[in-house]
Structure 1
Amino acid sequence: MSAEQLDISVLTWALTVGLVVLLLAVDLVVAAKRPHHVGFGEATAWTVFYVAVALGFGVWFMLHYGSGPGTEYFVGYLVEKSLSVDNLFVFVIIMSTFAVPDEHQHKVLTFGIVLALVMRAIFIALGATLLSLFSFVFLLFGLLLIYTAVQLYRHRDEDPDIEDNVVVKTSRRVLPITDDYVGGDLFTRDNGRRMVTPLFLVLVAIGTIDLLFALDSIPAVFGITAQPYVVFAANAFSLLGLRALFFLVKGLLDRLVYLSTGLSLILAFIGVKLIMQWLHEDVIESVPKIPTVLSLVVIVMVLAVVTVASLVKTKRDPSAKAHPGSLRARRAAGKRENERTNRR
């Protein structure tokens, strides 16, 4: 990681945030004004566009601030993009659980991306402040990532239980909910009674999942760089392409059977990297720091092996299905049904 903080001007920050907000605004306008099923061609075009924007920004950043910070950006972008694919799995599960119509999925995804970016911005500011005040935060972040990696690996063949989400359950219990989506509105009136639509519950589920992913992704990218600007840029540009990527690869997600295993290895590696950073700075200076270039090599190799192995596995066994993994064991359906019966 870079030893000194980059001198990023207020103008550069403003232009970067302005670009991100502009691209998000375009997504919001398209989702709100023209709800429709997004086909493969449209999804491909948007995906290529967002990747080109991210790469173009990286080239500009490297030319202006040097190869070190530039490499940190590209590694951070790769890590966040990898984690965002796992996020897509959960989005697919949420869409399926609530039977979201095709024409409203665009709106849900855009909301999820906006909320994820806002949460990440908050955690970035908090993380940067803590790191500048207390170097042992490297140790805490490292332990958090290793714990997450272990839990993700243990439950790599499970799906998160959306219905068991405490916020979703509370919303179902206290709010009057319509049976249909009412044209994609969040609120409606039925015989003079104000009610929420299932789309409101979908956004609640997306929001809580975004919070959990922010708790993992921000420490992960801080394991690559301590530069708040680089952390924000890597997160922002990886999230901007998430909507289009969802429609492009949602039919292929089931084939990435080893993705959760690969992500657990990446998170564990970055966790170890953070702990070694803390040991080097606060305990024993002779403890080596893992170079950013080595991190890039390890992450690329893990993702490549995971992708190839997944495709080989599903070709040999078409019944094999990928799962996003979970940080806790999913409760059995029978146990949930017993609880519902007891509540009655």
Structure 2
Amino acid sequence: YQQEVLMFGIIIALILRGGFILLGAALIENFSWIFFIFGAFLVYTAAKQVFEKEHDGDAQAESFIVRVLRRFIPIHDAYDGAKLRTVVNGKKMLTPMVIVFVSIGVTDLIFAIDSIPAIFGITQNPFLVFATNLFALMGLRQLYFLLGDLLDKLRYLKYGVAFILAFIGVKLFFHAMHVNELPFINGGEPILWAPEISNWLSLGVIVASMVVATVASLIANSLESKQASRNE
């Protein structure tokens, strides 16, 4: 039932991200200093992704969701196809599919917190931000099954993504300095000596980071396979 679950997840993602984009656009329009917060958060997220043990945060969040749902809602232990509700001994209960849907919604909420500020680092046009999210989510189902088996082989991919997040975070810092209005920073005047990072440079860094992370992963896998063959 992964296709059905992914489709439901895409719908949730569009709704959540649409709300986040509207909120982000309103904050940017009225509070230029929000770029400092966006930048700091992206740098923090990048550091966390590099040093945090893989899947630890996801497992903790998932277990918390399960505990909360089971405390307040009667949920059966077994699935009943793709149904959200089932009947057990004459009693109506929800199936674990509800936990799956809620987990997807919460997970996308977490990703939106990371990705929306990153996109605003490229453009502040709300329509373009939403359009990029829409096209990305449209291809999500296909990419899920295409890349699902490859992610374990791309061992350095998370470092490439972390570098991109940190780079966009620094770019947001520089942009915040250019539009600075905080009275305790440079007397509320823009800091013009801060470098302005172009979108073309940003695109080049993103592509280069993904290429380096992918090639490094493939080389490491190849060396590991050769070493295993020698040991045999």
| TM-score normalized with structure 2 length | 0.88
The correspondence of residues 176-195 of structure 1 with structure 2, limited to 5 A, is 176-195=74-93
5+ residue gaps, structure 2: 181-189, 226-232
CA distance in 1, matches of 2:18, 2:44: 23
Counterpart residue identity of residue 317, structure 1: E
| 1:317–1:280 Cα change, 3 Å | same
Mapped contact 1:184–1:199 kept (Cα < 8 A): yes
CA–CA distance in structure 1, aligned partners of residues 142 and 56 of structure 2:
23
- Separation of aligned partners in 1, 2:163 and 2:224: 24
1:202 matches 2:109:
no
Q: 2:4 aligns with which of 107, 119, 136?
A: 107
Quick one: structure 1 residues 200 and 280, their matched pair in 2 at CA, closer, same or farther if it must change by over 3 Å? same
The secondary structure found in structure 2 opposite 1:256 is coil
State which of 165, 169, 173 in structure 2 corresponds to 1:267: 165
Paired residues for 1:7-22 under 5 Å: none
* Alpha-carbon distance between aligned partners in 1 of 2:50 and 2:196, rounded to the nearest angstrom: 25
Residue 214 of structure 1, CA deviation: 0.6
Query: Quick one: structure 1 residues 243 and 159, their matched pair in 2 at CA, closer, same or farther if it must change by over 3 Å?
Result: farther
User: 1:129-180 deviations in whole A, cap 9, x for unaligned?
Assistant: 1101111011111111111111111116444343653222211233222232
Structure 2 CA distance for aligned equivalents of residues 248 and 121 of structure 1: 26
Once the two structures are TM-superposed, the CA of residue 181 in structure 1 deviates from its matched residue by 1.6
Match of 2:134 in 1: 236
Matched, 1:284 2:182: no
**What is the identity percentage for the equivalent residue pairs of Structure 1 and Structure 2?**
48
Where in structure 1 are there 5+ consecutive unaligned residues?
1-103, 319-344
Q: 1:298 to 1:310 in 2, by over 3 A?
A: same
For 1:123 and 1:157, how far apart are their aligned partners in 2? 26
Give the partner amino acid of 1:208. Answer: V
How many residue pairs match? The answer is 215
Tell me if structure 2 keeps the 8 A contact 1:168–1:204. no
Q: Structure 2 vs 1, CA of residues 158 and 317 (structure 1 numbering), >3 Å: closer, same or farther? A: farther
Alignment correspondent of 2:224? 317
The residue aligned with 2:228 is none
Helix, strand or coil for the counterpart of 1:254? coil
Pairwise CA RMSD: 1.5
| SS of residue matched to 1:284 | coil
Q: Deviations over 1:181-237 (max 9, x none)?
A: 212101112222111111111111111111100100100000100110110011110
SS at match of 2:124: coil
- Residue 129 (structure 1) aligns with: 26
- Counterpart of 1:141? 38
